[in-house]
Amino acid sequence: MRKFNVLIIFALLAGFAAMAYAQAETAKKGIPEKITIDDCAKKKAAVEFPHKAHFEVTECVTCHHTAKGLTAENYQEIGVKACAECHMNPEKADTPDCSKSSKKLNPYHIRCISCHKETKAKDAETKAPTKCSACHPKPTKS
């Protein structure tokens, strides 16, 4: 009888875990696989950002820093602003400006390059790009 109760409890726990996983995966379906970052492109080609791939390596609030508590599961309730809403012609002088191409003034360059360099320092084999052309490919001639 005890083994039967343990099996029932185990089956219930496994069922709840499967439901939680399915709910999380369903919530993530509305999140884009890739995002084209072109709102600040002037001199360089737009960036094809592998959005979903970053779920495995960082939290949502790392990039979406104004959306406190943001997760893949609650993004629809919290809402996410496009980066350019604050970083294109910013109101505050100390807010990074994405119209600047400098590694020290552009918010993408500040956040992305620094993270990629830290990642490379920990694991030289990682695919995290650190060179301009890796994110901003040169246009192909047809």
One-letter-per-residue 3-state SS of 17-79: HHHHHHHHHHHHCCCCCCEEECCCCCCCCCEEECCHHHHHCCCHHHHCCCCCCCCCCCHHHHC
- pLDDT for 120 equals 92
- pLDDT for 121 equals 94
- pLDDT for 27 equals 47
pLDDT in tens, the chain (142 residues): 677 666 676 666 665 555 555 445 544 557 888 989 887 777 778 889 999 888 888 889 888 888 889 888 888 888 888 888 888 888 898 999 888 888 888 898 899 999 999 999 999 999 899 888 888 888 776 5
- pLDDT for 124 equals 92
- pLDDT for 11 equals 62
